[in-house]
């Protein structure tokens, strides 16, 4: 299967701990997005990369959040000093710039629970 993959699928942590999530996009896709989603809401944009360059980061995003895509392939999202409000589904999506529709395809998500 060559779809978007994310790891881990579930993460339970205690408040104050750091967590890191990984996303592997569809291999030929050059854009990679991170979103956060809570129950009953649409995905909330966090940040995105084109190849290895981080092109935009949400102004609402705390400095505790950082993302990398070092070689333009997989990406990691780190949350430092987690808070209970960080509990959410973290979604990764990828797309191919230049494709007519620029459709984003999502991974299965990582569900984070902060106790």
Partner 1 sequence: GQNIDQPTEMTATEGAIVQINCTYQTSGFNGLFWYQQHAGEAPTFLSYNVLDGLEEKGRFSSFLSRSKGYSYLLLKELQMKDSASYLCAVLDSNYQLIWGAGTKLIIKP
By the rule CB under 8 A, 105 interacts with partner 1: yes
Contact string (CB under 8 A) for partner 1, positions 25-44, x = contact? --------x------xxxxx
- In the complex, the smallest distance separating the C-beta of residue 29 from partner 1, rounded to whole angstroms, is 13
Considering only 7, 22, 30, 45, the residue that binds partner 1 (CB under 8 A) is: 45
Q: How far is the CB of 100 from partner 1 (least distance, A)?
A: 9
Q: In the numeric block, which tokens belong to residue 69?
A: 């895509």
DSSP state letter for 41: S
74 contributes a contact to partner 1 by CB under 8 A = no
For 62-68, the CB contacts below 8 A with 24+ separation are 67/34
The span from the CA of 73 to the CA of 70, in Å, is 7
For Cα atoms 20, 24, 27, give the angle at the middle one, nearest 5 degrees: 160
Ramachandran category for residue 84: left, alpha or beta (phi over 0 → left; psi -120 to 50 → alpha): alpha
Q: Which of 78, 103, 113, 115 binds partner 1 (CB under 8 A)?
A: 103
Structure tokens at 85: 């409000």
- Of the ranges 14-22, 62-70, 77-85, 98-106, which one interacts with partner 1 (CB under 8 A)? 98-106
- Enumerate binding residues for partner 1 (CB under 8 A): 33, 40-45, 56, 91, 101-109, 111
């Amino acid at each position: 299967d060559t779809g978007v993959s994310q790891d881990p699928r579930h993460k339970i942590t205690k408040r104050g701990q750091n967590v890191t999530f990984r996303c592997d996009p569809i291999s030929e896709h050059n854009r990679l997005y991170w979103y956060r989603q809570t129950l009953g809401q649409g995905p909330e944009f966090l940040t995105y990369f084109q190849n290895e360059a981080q092109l935009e980061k949400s102004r609402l995003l705390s400095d505790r959040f950082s993302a990398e895509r070092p070689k333009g392939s997989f990406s990691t999202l780190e949350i430092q000093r987690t808070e209970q409000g960080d509990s959410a589904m973290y979604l990764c999506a990828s797309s191919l710039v230049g494709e007519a529709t620029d459709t984003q395809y999502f991974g299965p998500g990582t569900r984070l629970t902060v106790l």
